[in-house]
Amino acid sequence: MASATDSRYGQKESSDQNFDYMFKILIIGNSSVGKTSFLFRYADDSFTPAFVSTVGIDFKVKTVYRHDKRIKLQIWDTAGQERYRTITTAYYRGAMGFILMYDITNEESFNAVQDWSTQIKTYSWDNAQVLLVGNKCDMEDERVVSSERGRQLADHLGFEFFEASAKDNINVKQTFERLVDVICEKMSESLDTADPAVTGAKQGPQLTDQQAPPHQDCAC
C-alpha cells in the first residue's frame, strides 16, 4: 500500500503545508465506472480513453479555495480492490467525504450502490458526507439507468446526486466543490453543537495535518 510520501501520483502540492484544512475524500464504486478517470480529470484535467486498471491504493492532492479558506483535498483512488466489492477498512479511516460512483450504462454498477453505501456506513466516520454520481453521462445512447432512478436512489440513501462525465468534463469540478461545501456545512454544524468527534481528536478524523485549534470556526 502506498503512503503519502511514496504516492505514485506524488506531486509537489502534496508536500505543501500551507492550508487551513485538509479533507480526505474517497472515490468508491464498482470497477470500471470511471473513478480513476474522474480523479485524473479533476486533478490534472486529462482523460485517457485506454483502460488502465488501478494498482495499489493511491491519491492525488488538490487545493481549493472556499470562502477565504485554503482547503487541501487528499483524494484517494481504489486499488482495483473494488473488483471484490470490498476494500480494506484502513482505506476508510479518516475520510470526511465520499464520491460513490456508478456508470449510467451499467445496471450492475447501479445495483451495487446500496452495498457500497452499506460499506461506507459500516466503516467510516458517522459524519462523513456522500455524493452519488452517475458517470458517463456522455453515453446517452447506451444509457440503462435513467436520471430519475439515480435521483430516487440518492434521495432514499440521503445523498446528493449528480450525473457527470469524466470524458466530456461535465459536472466533475462541481461534484468536488459541492462535496467540499457539504463537508464544510457539516463541520460548522458540528462545531456549533460542540460535537467532540469534530472539535476534539476523540474519534473523528483530524481536520488538518496541523492539528486545528479545537474551537476554530469553519467560515465555509
Binding interface with Mg ion (CB under 5 A)? 36, 54
Taking CB within 5 to 8 Å according to partner kind, which of ligand GDP, Mg ion, none is near residue 181?
A: none
H-assigned helices in 105-218: 107-111, 113-123, 147-157, 172-192, 196-199
Question: In the set 23, 24, 36, 42, which binds ligand GDP (CB under 6 A)?
Answer: 36
For the beta carbon of residue 110, count every other beta carbon within 10 angstroms.
Answer: 22
By C-beta, is 139 or 144 nearer to ligand GDP? 139
What whole-number distance in Å separates Cα of residue 117 and Cα of residue 12?
A: 33
Contact 170, 137 (CB under 8 A): yes
Question: In the set 3, 12, 18, 49, which binds ligand GDP (CB under 6 A)?
Answer: 49
**What is the grid cell recorded at 152?**
430516487
**What is the grid cell recorded at 171?**
459536472
By C-beta, is 14 or 31 nearer to ligand GDP? 31
Q: Where does residue 168 fall: left (phi above 0), alpha (psi -120 to 50 degrees), or beta otherwise? A: alpha
Most distant CA atoms of the chain, gap in Å:
52
- Give yes or no for residue 60 binding ligand GDP (CB under 6 A): no
Contact 168, 139 (CB under 8 A): no
Instruction: Tell me the residue type at 148.
Output: E
- Give yes or no for residue 171 binding ligand GDP (CB under 6 A): no
- Give yes or no for residue 144 binding ligand GDP (CB under 6 A): no
Taking CB within 5 to 8 Å according to partner kind, which of Mg ion, ligand GDP, none is near residue 197?
A: none
Question: In the set 54, 74, 175, 199, which binds ligand GDP (CB under 6 A)?
Answer: 54
Taking CB within 5 to 8 Å according to partner kind, which of ligand GDP, Mg ion, none is near residue 49?
A: ligand GDP
By C-beta, is 131 or 207 nearer to ligand GDP? 131
Enumerate binding residues for ligand GDP (CB under 6 A).
31-37, 49, 51-52, 54, 135-136, 138-139, 165-167
